[in-house]
Amino acid sequence: MNFPGFAQLLTDAQVQRVHEASLEILQEVGLEVQNAKARALFKQHGCGVVDDSRRVTIPPRVIEQLLKSVPPRFTFHARNPEFDRTIPDESPLVMTASSAPNIIDPVTKEQRPANSEDLARVARLIDQLPGIDLFSVPVLAADAPAGQYSLTRFYTAMKYCRKPIRGSGDPGGDSESILQLAYAIAGSEAAYKAHPFITHHHCPIIAPLKLDENSTEMMIFYTEQGLPNHPTIVPNAGLTSPMTLAGTLAQGNAEFLACAALMQMVRPGTPTIYSTLSTVADMRSGAYASGGIECGMLNMAHAQMARFYCVPCSGYVGLTNSKVVDAQAGYEKAMSCMGGLLAGMHVLQFAGLIEALLTFDFGMAVVDNEISLMLKRVARGMEFSEANLALAEIKAVGPSGMFVDTELTLERMKTTAFLPDIADRESRENWSKRGGMETADKALLKARKILESDCPSLFSPEVETRIRQRFQGMVAGEFKLSENWKAGGATPTNNAVQSAILKNHEGVAA
């Protein structure tokens, strides 16, 4: 990122005060720690532990000491190192948001539970969208066999997407089998651990201030193994944190510090991410308002805290409560992720999801890819240089002149501005002639075009065999364009819509 100054919602003194307030919370209130291993670790490191109540209090010096060993960088590995991404060096990165139970069927436009076939298409789409850097497995798979809930998702995701994969294990314990899958793909445990291409993710804190049993177990497990993993902190003001931004920030920051400290207790020097999804509840209905602008603001403030700690940061920012790819989805996502970007967030997690993280939409992913490319254009900044000040050219062209065919124009006409694919800049007349498509339809059409191309499995026959030998009953997880989509829709209405869209596309392509 090339910003001489970040947007700041806190003064330096306020950042310091939030830090102190968080230390006070951890010392005086502490955490309820359900996981016994975690309690033992806290005890070993000089924290107050009352086993009966499971209450752990953490002295400020313990936090401050452990923070020193958190590295300032975090790498998301991919199988092919060409797709590796490191923050903050390569920020901003855009990630898909996770883990929605549902998908909008691209043909019927109806919501339904997502399955492994959907996920194969999602994985292929994300593989092909250049603005999306990281693939947090965005949907569940309703057809996963018992005992393979998480395994099905990792298998299908890695079969079709080359980008770094992030995902959660199934609470209750398939962390070991996810590793077996990874070893089967890499060829061996050693090969995998030399370049671990899964980033494990969990929400071990149940706000306020409780460390749970299973996600905490996974955090400890992957950290012990030396494998990349990080928590996300999710206070919700008015329900699980105070109904103020400052109070929610202080509590959320305390929760992050506790997790970061625990990871350092397990294995000093373990990289982590200050990752957040802090929200304010809509108290009219109790709705989860992750599309609210306050979610953007809280993420911006967390980014400032992360900078104070020199820890890479990430957040679910750019979410929407909309049920469709409409103006609301556009403005809720765009306002918050632009805020996050300008506040210096390193990873923005939003691509593909609508309905407050409940549903994946193919068209939304395509729109989010375009939003991401706009964010990356902003991050390139002004490209300030003497050459770009163009004084010689301004002098040569003079008053009333034209810059349409100057050297600089010919050289930079494809690069100075981001040239959008989805945003329509035609005249109304031309736009109408081509069918007058709204963004949602245009984006869905682009998704379909991408998914119509051939898409071989990324797994060699040997890898596929190893996986199927190891995991009986694994889903097929084969990529194919759905029959409905291929046929142009299941109902007359959809047939009409589809043929109109396809007709439009000829015009656009022409």
98-117 residues in contact with a second copy (CB under 8 A) are 111
Q: Which stretch binds a second copy (CB under 8 A): 66-74, 193-201, 261-269, 284-292?
A: 284-292
Q: Which two tokens stand for residue 70?
A: 């958190």
Site string for a second copy, 53-92 (x = CB under 8 A): --x-------------------------------------
Closest CA to 480 of 457, 499, 446, 462: 457
Residues 263 and 223: beta-carbon distance below 8 Å: yes
In single-letter form, the type of residue at position 347 comes to: V
349 forms part of the interface with a second copy (CB under 8 A):
no
Q: Which stretch binds a second copy (CB under 8 A): 30-38, 82-90, 162-170, 501-509?
A: 30-38
Closest to a second copy by CB, 146 vs 391, is 391
421 forms part of the interface with a second copy (CB under 8 A):
no
The number of beta carbons lying within 10 Å of the beta carbon of residue 62 is 21
Among 80, 388, 460, 465, binds a second copy (CB under 8 A): 388
Distance CA 487, CA 485 (A): 5
**447-506 positions binding a second copy, by CB under 8 A:** none
Distance CA 90, CA 74 (A): 10
Among 130, 399, 456, 461, binds a second copy (CB under 8 A): 399
Instruction: Determine the length of the chain.
Output: 510
Q: How far is the CB of 356 from a second copy (least distance, A)?
A: 8
Q: Write out the H or E segment, with its range, that includes residue 210.
A: strand 210-211
Distance CA 45, CA 380 (A): 44
Q: Which stretch binds a second copy (CB under 8 A): 117-125, 126-134, 188-196, 205-213?
A: 205-213
Distance CA 11, CA 13 (A): 5
Closest to a second copy by CB, 168 vs 279, is 279
Closest to a second copy by CB, 11 vs 465, is 11
Distance CA 167, CA 200 (A): 5
Among 101, 330, 488, 507, binds a second copy (CB under 8 A): 330
36 forms part of the interface with a second copy (CB under 8 A):
no
Among 67, 142, 310, 335, binds a second copy (CB under 8 A): 335
Residues 124 and 451: beta-carbon distance below 8 Å: yes
Distance CA 451, CA 438 (A): 20
| Count, residues near a second copy per rule CB under 8 A | 132
Site string for a second copy, 235-254 (x = CB under 8 A): --xxxxxxxxxxx-xxx---
291 forms part of the interface with a second copy (CB under 8 A):
yes
Residues 75 and 102: beta-carbon distance below 8 Å: no
Among 40, 142, 310, 324, binds a second copy (CB under 8 A): 324
Distance CA 119, CA 102 (A): 11
Q: Which two tokens stand for residue 98?
A: 């996770």
Among 82, 190, 398, 469, binds a second copy (CB under 8 A): 398
